Structure 1
Amino acid sequence: MTFSLYILIVIALIGLFLIWIFWSSIIGAGFQPTSKKLVKQMLDMAEVGTGDIVYDLGSGDGRIVINAVKKYNAKAVGLEADPSRVFWSRLVITLSGIGNRAKIVWGNFFNQNISEATVVTLFLSDTANQKLKSKFLEELKPGTRIVSYVWKFRGWKPVKADETEEIYLYVIGQSNLSLKERDIRYY
């Protein structure tokens, strides 16, 4: 191979790496793993238990899905747009032997039906959270718990909040959840 071919391969690999890193930022939120401590706090705040179906929007490496199944005995579904993270989390789920109670779906969570969720977890962005409000109100049943890390839902009052850790719990049908014209300006 010539030197210019090596340079071309290196540039292509760098480009692919940058796309992999920034892909999830482009479609909604960047990948930043949530610590084990915060995962536990989020699931504890939602009081996840055996009868729950946890949906993690932007599930990344699957840690919330895996913890919901292994430590809280819930069923769990992760929705992730990055194919490499989908592959990784599916591999971990398979190796953990929890594939009968956990799954990762590849795709854009805005286009997925989440109506069976009893708990929804997310660590996305302010813009993504605001866009999800109408989806939540249309698809989720009363009593469904939504736990957001860092980003609040403007116009909604959390049922519980840990301001230090920036974890906010909302419940469909409670907290004066409403969809007003001012809440949908991002569409």
Structure 2
Amino acid sequence: MSRRSTVAALCLTLLASGSVALGARCLSPAVARCSWAALTGNGPALDVPYLGTRPAVIARMLDMAAVGPGDRVLDLGTGDGRILIAAARRGASGTGVDIDPVLIGEARAAALTAGVAERTRFVAQDLFATPLTGNTVVTMFLLPRVNLRLRPRLLRELPPGTRIVSHAFDMADWAPDVTD
């Protein structure tokens, strides 16, 4: 994928061969926001700073992965939970994982306000300690080095057909099959 000033949402589908099918769409950048814990240094060490994903980008990500009722979504680096909440509004259920307990608290409150708390679960933990199994869709807005660290686990722990959507950053040599 070429370097551009825009950001890309990438959708990958694991294939039985261990390879991936990937679709991409370039979208405008998200706006940065940091939690109090991250700003003051009183929180956990972060591999990725929190950047809130815009609603149009979230909708595109979920469309690319065809998220709907019956899907089980794992949102790695969930932040304030907006991606998982949007997926739950489409009838999916899932878990959002973030190392920042302040953001997890915000995500739980937002899910309650949105009326989807019964379909969402938010956990404050390291995403590298999070089991990946049992999900049909994995969403993430992580840095390239984190995506690369996750790749072996994604291939090993997720069954063929699992959809992976990465906002903004690619998965290195998992080149897009389709760009729109």
Question: How would you bin the TM-score normalised by the shorter chain?
Answer: 0.7 to 0.9
Deviation at 1:160, TM superposition (A): 3.8
* Match in the other structure for 2:87: 68
Match of 1:138 in 2: 156
Matched to 2:104, the amino acid is: V
**CA 127–16 in structure 1, closer or farther in 2 if over 3 Å, else same:** closer
Partner residue of 1:19 out of 31, 41, 58: 41
Partner of 2:69: 50
Q: Which deviates the most, 94-103 or 43-52?
A: 94-103
**What pairs up with 1:1-187 in 2 under 5 angstroms?**
17-19=39-41, 26-70=45-89, 72-162=90-180
> CA offset at residue 111 of structure 1?
0.3
Structure 2 CA distance, aligned partners of 1:44 and 1:129?
A: 21
- In the alignment, the residues of structure 2 paired with residue 97 and residue 37 of structure 1 have an alpha-carbon distance, to the nearest angstrom, of 20
Whole-angstrom CA distance in 2 between matches of 1:143 and 1:102: 22
The C-alpha deviation readout for 1:30-85, integer Å capped at 9, x for no partner, is 11100000000000001111111111110001100110011x11112101110100
Deviation at 1:15, TM superposition (A): 8.7
Question: Given that residues 37 and 102 in structure 2 are in contact (C-alpha distance below 8 angstroms), is that contact kept between their aligned partners in structure 1?
Answer: no
* 5+ residue gaps, structure 2: 1-35
Would the aligned equivalents of 2:71 and 2:92 in 1 still touch at CA under 8 Å?
yes
User: Structure 2 CA distance, aligned partners of 1:28 and 1:161?
Assistant: 28
Q: Counterpart of 1:106 in structure 2: which amino acid? A: A
| Residues 40 and 87 (structure 1), Cα distance of their counterparts in 2 relative to 1, 3 Å cut | same
Q: What TM-score, normalized to structure 2?
A: 0.74
Letter of the 1:54 partner, please give it: V
RMSD: 2.0
- TM-score normalised per structure 1: 0.72
Q: Per residue, is there more strand in 1 or in 2?
A: 2
The unaligned stretches of length 5 or more in structure 1 are 1-13, 163-187
Higher Rg: 1
Which structure has the higher relative contact order (CA within 8 Å, separation 6+)? 2
